[in-house]
Chains A and B, each alone.
Chain A
Amino acid sequence: MATTATITLESLDIAGDPVNVSKTTTCTKAGTTTDLDQTTGLNRVHLRSTTNKVLLAANAEGNDLSAKVYIINKATDPTLYCTITINAQTVGKLYAGDWMFIPWSQTDTSASIEIAATNWTASTGDIPVEYALFHEDTDFLTNA
């Protein structure tokens, strides 16, 4: 049971020569070649909270284990963004259409991944976000 993630970064005009980077990783348990064997599957939520909400709750058992997180902002209005935070540390803003794929350490239970529809208003409509977690720890039910 394998999980693979491929990124392709392409641009014909951001530099004098074309840029084309492609990389595939097979998601494995920490420091091994054994495939990750658990996932939340793909989830979809509609955000309207301008303050942080827990998207993925950290589990201290996950520290030193492998976990990969995929998040995408499915809004179509380019001004609408959601802010991604880990343990009160802002990582970045996902604008409409943006996605991220990161490893997640869960250094402790404070290391939850939180999300806020920072510039949501009643007139903007909800911000649809899809996400998935791939992981190896054995007791990770809080994200169900």
Chain B
Amino acid sequence: MATTNAKITLSSDITDDSLSVNNESLLYTAGTTTGANTMTSVTKVLASTNQVDLITTGSVSTTHGYVYINNPDTDNTRHFKVTIGNAGGGSPTDTEEIGRLYGGDWMFMPWDVDDDICVAPSDGNDMTVEYMVFS
């Protein structure tokens, strides 16, 4: 089994007393202390605003994983709409929008591998998206 650490450091001075959160977790297979042992790391350049299946359920052989997605763009206005849901007939449909990753944003979440994770670029000119899946 592999050992993979996922650490977050959150710092905010929005409130009068600042917020500082540090947490580190080991990425395990579902409900165990056995480390996730599979990783996928992909960079894609998307050249249209069409919604695309970024991470498909068929790409993972377990029922629990962790997904990291990064928008490395330096333009804060260019974003990906990240959705999860059923991808019907090869064309993503019936999806629920999670959120929008603007240039410089990243996200990390567990994934139950029931439905594909899709993205739609805001700009039809080349937009790069990076993702990793641990399972």
Residues of chain A having any CB pair with chain B under 8 Å: 1-15, 19, 21, 23, 25-28, 30-33, 36-39, 41-42, 66-67, 70, 72, 78-79, 81, 83-84, 86-95, 97-105, 107, 111, 132, 134
Contacts and interface: CB of A to CB of B under 8 A. Distances in A.
A88 B85 CA distance: 10
Contact of A70 (B4, B8, B39, B79): B8
B11 interface: yes
A95 B36 contact: no
Contacts of B112: 83, 90-93
B98 A99 contact: no
A140 B3 CA distance: 40
Q: Is the interface of B mostly helix, strand, loop or mixed?
A: strand
Interface of B: 2-15, 19, 21, 23, 25-26, 28, 30-33, 35-39, 41, 64-66, 68, 70, 76-77, 79, 81-82, 84-85, 96-102, 104-112, 114-115, 132, 134
Given A7-B6, A31-B77, A93-B112, A41 B106 contact: no
A26 B104 contact: yes
Given A3-B11, A101-B8, A101-B107, A28 B85 contact: no
A5 B12 CA distance: 9
A134 B98 contact: no
B110 A94 contact: yes
A90 B32 contact: no
A5 B91 CA distance: 33
B72 to A, nearest CB: 9
B5 A134 contact: no
Q: Is the interface of A mostly helix, strand, loop or mixed?
A: strand
Contacts of A36: 14
A33 B95 CA distance: 29
A97 B26 CA distance: 8
A141 B31 CA distance: 35
B112 to A, nearest CB: 5
Contacts of A84: 109-110
Contact of B97 (A1, A15, A42, A105): A105
A14 B6 CA distance: 13
Contacts of A101: 8, 10, 106-109
Contacts of A7: 6-8, 68, 106, 108
26 contacts: A1-B14, A7-B6, A9-B5, A10-B7, A13-B3, A14-B134, A19-B39, A25-B104, A33-B76, A36-B14, A39-B15, A70-B8, A70-B21, A84-B109, A84-B110, A91-B98, A94-B110, A98-B25, A98-B66, A99-B6, A99-B108, A102-B99, A102-B109, A104-B98, A132-B19, A134-B14
